[in-house]
């Protein structure tokens, strides 16, 4: 299992309007892979956490010279349904926009930037970890407790109503 690394100078990347297209293995994202591990009672053949992550990172400058990045992700993961404990597909198509800026320890973002929901903030970095960013975004996009959208086919649902053990005696009293 080889861990691939991709580092970019995000400001230069944006100024040059560069694009980075690629595909990652789940082995490149160990923290995400841990969320997809099957519990010991699931047979290895029934649960395959392998997936590939397609990504498209685009840098750009807007008309006012503001550097930004756009990240598009597509991934088909195999999760564990928390209702029936069977494997279930989780297909994600995600888009993220980041504004690049200088962020010092004492520097606070302006209030209009804090209130905007259209973008996230990324500090200038000559060594931004692209795979780390992708992994972070996928982890945050994962549902806390994934469940099938439709009825789980093999789930053993037990009724909350138990039969009354004295129901048989009711017929004896009436006779």
| pTM for the model | 0.73
Judge whether 94 and 73 are in contact, CB under 8 Å: yes
Q: How confident is the model at residue 147 (pLDDT cuts 50, 70, 90)?
A: confident
Average pLDDT over residues 90-115: 71
Q: How confident is the model at residue 131 (pLDDT cuts 50, 70, 90)?
A: very high
What residue spans define the domains of the chain?
7-174
How far apart (Å, rounded) are the C-alpha atoms in residues 58 and 55? 10
The full DSSP string for 112-165 is: HHHH--S-EEEE--TTEEHHHHHHHHHHHHS-SS---SS--TT--PPPSPPPPT
The full DSSP string for 28-72 is: G-HHHHHHTPPPTTS-GGG-----EEEEEEEEEE-TT--EEEEEE
Which tokens hold the place of 117? 């929901």
pLDDT at 40: 53
- pLDDT tens for 33-86 read 888 865 555 555 555 555 789 999 999 998 888 999 999 999 988 888 888 888
Average pLDDT over residues 96-116: 64
Which tokens hold the place of 86? 């069977």
How far apart (Å, rounded) are the C-alpha atoms in residues 70 and 129? 15
For the ranges 10-14, 26-30, 82-86, 100-104, the maximum mean pLDDT occurs at 10-14
């Amino acid at each position: 299992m080889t861990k691939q690394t991709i580092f970019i100078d995000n400001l230069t990347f944006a100024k040059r309007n560069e694009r980075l297209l690629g595909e990652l293995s789940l082995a490149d994202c160990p923290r995400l892979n841990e969320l997809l591990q099957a519990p010991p009672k699931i047979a290895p053949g029934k649960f395959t956490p392998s997936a590939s992550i397609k990504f498209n990172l685009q840098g750009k400058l807007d008309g006012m010279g503001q550097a930004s990045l756009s990240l598009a992700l597509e991934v088909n993961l195999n999760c564990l349904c928390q209702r029936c404990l069977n494997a279930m597909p989780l297909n994600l198509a995600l888009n993220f926009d980041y504004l690049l800026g200088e962020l010092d320890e004492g520097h606070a973002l302006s209030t209009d930037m804090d209130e905007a929901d259209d973008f996230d903030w990324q500090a200038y970095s000559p060594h931004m970890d692209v795979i780390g960013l992708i992994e972070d975004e996928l982890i945050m996009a994962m549902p806390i407790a994934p469940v099938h959208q439709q009825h789980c086919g093999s789930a053993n649902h037990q009724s909350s109503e138990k039969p009354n053990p004295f129901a048989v005696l009711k017929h004896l009293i009436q006779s």
